[in-house]
Amino acid sequence: MLEIGWLTWALTIGLIVALLAVDLVIAAVRPHRVGFGEATAWSVFYVLVAIGFGVWFASVHGGSFGAEYFAGYIVEKSLSVDNLFVFVIIMTTFAVPEEHQHKVLTFGIVLALVMRAIFIAVGATLLSLFSFMFLLFGLLLLFTAVQLFRHRDEDPDVENNVVVKVARRVLPVTDEYAGGKLLTRVDGRRVVTPLFVVLVAIGGVDLLFALDSIPAVFGVTEEAYIVFAANAFALLGLRALFFLVKGLLDRLVYLSAGLAVILAFIGVKLILHWAHVDLDDRVPEVPTSVSLGVILVILVIVVVASLIKTKGDPTAKAHPGSLRASASEPSESKPKN
């Protein structure tokens, strides 16, 4: 059992808040187009911070907990890349100017951290009280994996997202971005800008991803502190990673299928853990080291296979995948022209 004092929690949260504050200040004070060099520098910095934290954590609390942190971090980092696909779609759908994309991403990361912190607290409490929650989490991940694999070649329909549709219906929205403001005045009337609707869309996406990613990382570790740290450090680098790899995302054509396999694997791992605890202790469990190895192998295969595919077929394009068929897709029951 991992023992984490209030001071360690406070210092960890303080470090994360400080890093987020730097991002917010840069986005607010100096809105600009983020170039490749700047994105690379920030990406390397955040990866080094995450690795440094993991090394410190392993040295203080032991290699076993350190392995759980790194496994959780890799799971969340791989799932966060799928977030980037959806962020690109949202930015394109709403034609967000490049100088404001930095701000949108930073606010999106803040929303994601808040939502995931809530889910982590709820999930940790449920797991500590009811062991059958491991079964429910496992079944949820298996369902998500099947749906994601079935719709791996689709894009989520942002415009038909219920949250976005409600926001457009309820709130007066101007056509101009108004210098990156969330609220402005038109003819003396206070209205929201498209940037506000973009944040609403990203918030809705963050909620959906939290529903998947939190059970996934709990499949690697039961420790709430490790779950929180893995999520936080994976998300902190998301803003820089967006500007670094957004030109390469189209080439990761097998990423959604790979993530589906990873989610299915973790789902089975959770179900085996539940069976081991509640049914029969002879039911085998999957060690963290094996989980880490399987996840890394799947990711390597996905990246290599994707690059080979797109090299041989330049027209091949990656999609983030969806948990349900797009409303714009023709129904299979309808005749095709």
Q: Is the per-residue pLDDT at 323 higher than 90?
A: no
How far are the Cα atoms of 87, 111, 129, 138, 312 from residue 166, in angstroms, in the given order? 20, 19, 36, 32, 43
Q: Is the per-residue pLDDT at 118 higher than 80?
A: yes
Q: What pLDDT does residue 247 have?
A: 63
Average pLDDT over residues 26-34: 67
Q: Does residue 107 sit in helix, strand or coil?
A: helix
CB 176 within 8 A of CB 213: no
pTM: 0.75
Q: What pLDDT does residue 334 have?
A: 44
Q: What pLDDT does residue 27 have?
A: 64
DSSP, res 185? E
CB 77 within 8 A of CB 255: no
Q: Which of 215, 308, 249 is nearest to 89 (CA)?
A: 249
Joined together, the tokens standing for residue 254 give 């097998």
Average pLDDT over residues 199-223: 78
Joined together, the tokens standing for residue 312 give 């041989």
How far are the Cα atoms of 18, 169, 170, 238 from residue 234, in angstroms, in the given order? 15, 34, 34, 7
DSSP, res 336? P
Q: Which of 149, 120, 147, 140 is nearest to 235 (CA)?
A: 120
Q: Is the per-residue pLDDT at 53 higher than 90?
A: yes
Q: Dihedrals φ, ψ of 58, to 5°?
A: -65, -40
Interatomic CA distance for residues 322 and 252, integer angstroms = 16
DSSP, res 189? E
pLDDT digits (tens, 9 = 90+) for 78-108: 877 777 777 777 777 777 777 777 777 777 7
Alpha helix segments (H runs only) across the chain: 6-29, 36-61, 63-93, 98-129, 133-150, 162-170, 194-218, 224-236, 238-245, 255-278, 288-312
Q: What is the dihedral of CA 124, 128, 132, 133, to 10 degrees?
A: -10
Q: Is the per-residue pLDDT at 55 higher than 90?
A: yes
Q: Does residue 222 sit in helix, strand or coil?
A: coil
Q: Give 331: exposed, middle or buried? Use CB within 10 Å, 0-12, 13-18, 19+.
A: exposed
Name the band, by pLDDT with cuts 50, 70 and 90, for residue 158: low
